[in-house]
């Protein structure tokens, strides 16, 4: 059940009221007795989730965390070996190695 802020337009009395969301908005001021209350928009009118485990992904088990670490390590070691392989040229005439000769494309002569 949320807490709502109220203010009386007549006497400017402000207070908080703990009430159900199904309850109607209060109209009568407890201080002056006039029907000039208004509900204020504030942080008290929102739903507040407390506790753990609202979503399955919020709190992971230790076994999940350990397997995720192991998977990350295996990916990191795989990246290092790929990086060293990428520096090797594709062939003797390959331009990807930087400094190699660019292959030339011969155009077919049409008669």
The verdict on residue 26 lying in a domain is yes
Tell me which residue range forms the domain holding 29.
Answer: 3-45
Cβ atoms 21, 44 nearer than 8 A: no
Query: For 83-106, what is the mean pLDDT?
Result: 58
DSSP per-residue letters across 14-54:
EEEEE--TTSPPP-S-TTT--S-EEEEPSGGGS----SS-S
The verdict on residue 95 lying in a domain is no
The verdict on residue 34 lying in a domain is yes
pLDDT for 63: 82
Predicted TM-score (pTM) of this structure: 0.39
Q: How confident is the model at residue 79 (pLDDT cuts 50, 70, 90)?
A: low
Residue 12 is part of a domain; what is its CATH number? 2.20.28
pLDDT at 51 over 70: no
The verdict on residue 69 lying in a domain is no
């Amino acid at each position: 059940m949320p807490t709502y802020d109220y203010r009386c337009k007549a006497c400017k009395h402000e207070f908080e009221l703990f009430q159900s969301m199904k309850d109607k908005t209060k109209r009568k001021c407890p201080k002056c007795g006039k029907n000039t209350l208004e509900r204020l928009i504030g942080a008290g009118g929102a739903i507040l989730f407390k506790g753990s485990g609202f979503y399955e992904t919020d709190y992971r088990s230790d076994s999940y965390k350990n397997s995720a670490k192991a998977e990350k390590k295996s990916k990191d070691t795989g990246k290092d070996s790929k990086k060293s392989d990428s520096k090797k040229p594709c062939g003797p005439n390959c331009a990807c190695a930087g400094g190699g000769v660019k292959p030339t494309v011969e155009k077919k002569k049409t008669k």
